[in-house]
Amino acid sequence: MIRIGVVDTTFSRVDMAKHVIRVIEENMPEAEIIRYTVPGLKDIPVAAKKLLDQGCEAVITLGWVGAKPVDKYSYLAASIGLIMLQIMTGKHVIDVTVHEDEADDPEKLYEIAVNRAVKHAYNLIKLVKYGGEALREYAGKGLRQGGPDVGPIKE
Amino acid sequence: MIRIGVVDTTFSRVDMAKHVIRVIEENMPEAEIIRYTVPGLKDIPVAAKKLLDQGCEAVITLGWVGAKPVDKYSYLAASIGLIMLQIMTGKHVIDVTVHEDEADDPEKLYEIAVNRAVKHAYNLIKLVKYGGEALREYAGKGLRQGGPDVGPIKE
Amino acid sequence: MIRIGVVDTTFSRVDMAKHVIRVIEENMPEAEIIRYTVPGLKDIPVAAKKLLDQGCEAVITLGWVGAKPVDKYSYLAASIGLIMLQIMTGKHVIDVTVHEDEADDPEKLYEIAVNRAVKHAYNLIKLVKYGGEALREYAGKGLRQGGPDVGPIKE
Amino acid sequence: MIRIGVVDTTFSRVDMAKHVIRVIEENMPEAEIIRYTVPGLKDIPVAAKKLLDQGCEAVITLGWVGAKPVDKYSYLAASIGLIMLQIMTGKHVIDVTVHEDEADDPEKLYEIAVNRAVKHAYNLIKLVKYGGEALREYAGKGLRQGGPDVGPIKE
Amino acid sequence: MIRIGVVDTTFSRVDMAKHVIRVIEENMPEAEIIRYTVPGLKDIPVAAKKLLDQGCEAVITLGWVGAKPVDKYSYLAASIGLIMLQIMTGKHVIDVTVHEDEADDPEKLYEIAVNRAVKHAYNLIKLVKYGGEALREYAGKGLRQGGPDVGPIKE
């Protein structure tokens, strides 16, 4: 059996985990999902660490970042932490982040969040199931999460 | 018996630790609280490290950040340090930070600091007592510390 | 036999790996190339780590960075991760990065990407084959990847 | 016998170490002081590391930062290094930093530097002698180094 | 016999290593110099790591940074890497960096680069030969590399 970790926050204004878990359950029914909810962005790396320590093969994290410049520093610090965790463990931690200033309309922000989380859930599943070759056919194809793909420049 | 660490600074203009300790004593009377006071923000990570080395299950840190751009770099450096400490130890270090430029009115700043510290003290207690499921019912609910919750976008 | 790793992304709008692999195959036919495709920039360091763990002597990574300020923070975080990985392993991870705002014209961006990737593929091959003396004759010569060399100021 | 490390730079325009050493000698005569002078800011972390390796219980570092934006990045990098060193060793490295743009008048800058260095020397002594309780009575009291204390908002 | 490492890049527009090596040969004839040339700034930390692994007592790195904001992020990432390498190994890596926007006139930039590299070569030699006391007489004296010293504020 394979374990997949899901980390989310109470700071987020969208329950992205609900959608991520649905995608994993439908496409990877053999997986045991362990979910860990923390207050905010900067608590995410340690939660991911705890889930990896519990045997998760990979983790998906669902962050929500405020609009102030200092929130962007928190984003930077958390991103560095998640990357360091990954190179210390050799495990994927797929980092879904929504920035509150990506859209003025909350409805639009909701759509971005769900779209991004769902697409990255599929990415996670493919990487865990098939490894580094799983996404090869999309390499350089200008895929985007949170909105429509932009496509490759040529070909 | 469980040990909880509290780190605060002489730089801060509000004694947040007093409120945090009261909340822990009332809601987790079995906990032994170890408090460590340092001069400023950049001294916080090593104090948290020392408390974890003394057997604390988790630590709450109470930082206060100046308004100058360079103070924000100090914030970034300290944040990276606290996140690295957490992924090196697998323990929660709940990071309460107040930025001096969050409010012009000192009275308002005082309220932000106490509100944020108290709410995060409750977060810490829940995480230590019940783990990653403790905050699940609030996932994606737009909770805020330092002011009123903003709530979820939908549902 | 020597193994060379190639990491690329689905976020990129140019399939740089195709060109890199061609250069390696033509100039280092004895090499076994292992390619790992990830969703985006911040997933690159762990993929490089996985390839080094599989015995790659060196890795070339092909990142694509958006134009928004927050994308630059992602670039910074990924760069720190790749540098930390290198000093933890003592192996070269040649970091090819294209910034979406380097050119307004997509055609021009395509040229930059291919030029940069190809030139760095040659750099990688030289470093792996001949070590720290391989590039000595070009030291201080103002070489550029992604466009024409600017040359040395004197001599 | 206890060893205390002092790191300073040739870049600094004020000999802060002289004042720090005087304070330590007067208030902690039993301490052996080991001083390490480096060229500039980014050399400070390794000097502190060397002094900790030589058995110093704590180190005080005396940095001087230029006024250009890129100097602030050097400040950030050095700060991250000092914080990482502290969480790797569990030892205090009290970080005194003067920014060349804190005052236009060199005389004023001189005063800031000496005031900050001296006050932090006292902080260091208290922390080494009495640990995390040493500064408790000043917690949240709005102490400042480099100028007058601002005091707590209330009480 | 003592080994000294020199890292430089093909991106640089000045062959700083030539001058550094001359200074070392003249003032430390007993040293074996190992030089490692890499493509650019972000490749410098791993080259320094490789030279330390080959037994170098210290390394001097000769970086050249572009003028764009994103180049400054590369500078920050490389600086963090070099500092981390130093605190992981306890060895000096003297970091000579020239920013392309320090002067408009290439001739002037050339002078800055050679002056800075040569002065830091002397710093390196002194630190390796005499340790932390070597530069004590210049502590707080406002020395500068790349231009004239500014001197201390007082005395």
Note whether E37 contacts C135, CB cutoff 8 Å.
Answer: yes
User: Using CA of residue C75, residue C78, residue C84, residue C87, what is the dihedral sign?
Assistant: negative
The reply to whether residue E46 touches residue C94, judged by beta carbons under 8 angstroms, is: no
CA distances from C155 to A9, B62, C152, E13, E110 (A): 58, 57, 7, 10, 11
Residue D152: inside a domain: no
**Residue of B3, B4, B15 best to disrupt the D interface, most CBs of D under 10 A:** B15
Residue closest to E132 by CA, chosen among D26, D9, A91, D69: D9
Distance from CA of C135 to the nearest CA of E (A): 6
| Distances D87 to B83, C88, D49, D75 between C-alpha atoms, Å | 11, 18, 12, 18
Q: What is the CATH number of the domain that holds E66?
A: 3.40.50.960
- The answer to whether residue B150 is domain-embedded is no
**Domain membership of residue B117 as a residue range:** 2-138
- Asked if the structure places residue D24 within a domain, the reply is yes
Q: Is residue A49 part of a domain?
A: yes
CB–CB contact C84 E88 (8 Å)? no
Percentage of residues of chain D with pLDDT beyond 90:
98
Within a domain: residue D131? yes
pLDDT digits (tens, 9 = 90+) for D90-132: 999 999 999 999 999 999 999 999 999 999 999 999 999 999 9
Instruction: Give this prediction's pTM.
Output: 0.98
D: neighbours with 3+ CB pairs under 8 Å? B, E
Cβ contacts (< 8 Å) between D70 and chain E: which residues? 65, 72, 75, 99
Cα–Cα distance, E128 to E56 (Å, whole number): 11
C-beta atoms of C139 and E15 within 8 A: yes
Candidates A80, A136, A143; nearest CB to C77: A80
Residue C142 — left, alpha, or beta (φ > 0 → left; ψ -120 to 50 → alpha)?
left
Does some domain include residue C107?
A: yes
3-class secondary structure per residue, C69-97: HHHHHHHHHHHHHHHHHHHHHCCCEEEEE
Tokens in use for E15? 């062959």
Number of domains forming the structure of chain E: 1
So what's the pLDDT on residue B1?
84
CB atoms C72 and E73 under 8 Å: yes
Contact assignment for E80 to C75 by CB distance below 8 Å? no
Q: pLDDT tens-digit profile of E16-70? A: 999 999 999 999 999 999 999 999 999 999 999 999 999 999 999 999 999 999 9
- Is residue D145 one of the residues assigned to a domain? no
Confidence of residue B155 (pLDDT cuts 50, 70, 90): low
Which of B53, B51, B43, B55 shows the shortest CA–CA distance to B12?
Answer: B43
Q: D47 pLDDT exceeds 80?
A: yes
pLDDT for C155 beyond 80:
no
Q: Residue C112 has what pLDDT?
A: 98
Measure the CA–CA gap between E140 and D9, rounded to whole angstroms.
Answer: 6
Residue B34 inside a domain? The answer is yes
For chains D and E, count residue pairs whose Cβ atoms are closer than 8 Å: 118
The answer to whether the CB of E28 falls within 8 A of the CB of E2 is: yes
- In the structure, what pLDDT confidence band is assigned to residue C93 with cuts at 50, 70 and 90? very high
Confidence of residue D135 (pLDDT cuts 50, 70, 90): very high
**ipTM of this complex:** 0.97
* Cβ contact, residue pair D14, E140, below 8 Å: yes
pLDDT digits (tens, 9 = 90+) for C60-87: 999 999 999 999 999 999 999 999 999 9
Q: Does B68 touch chain A (CB under 8 A)?
A: no
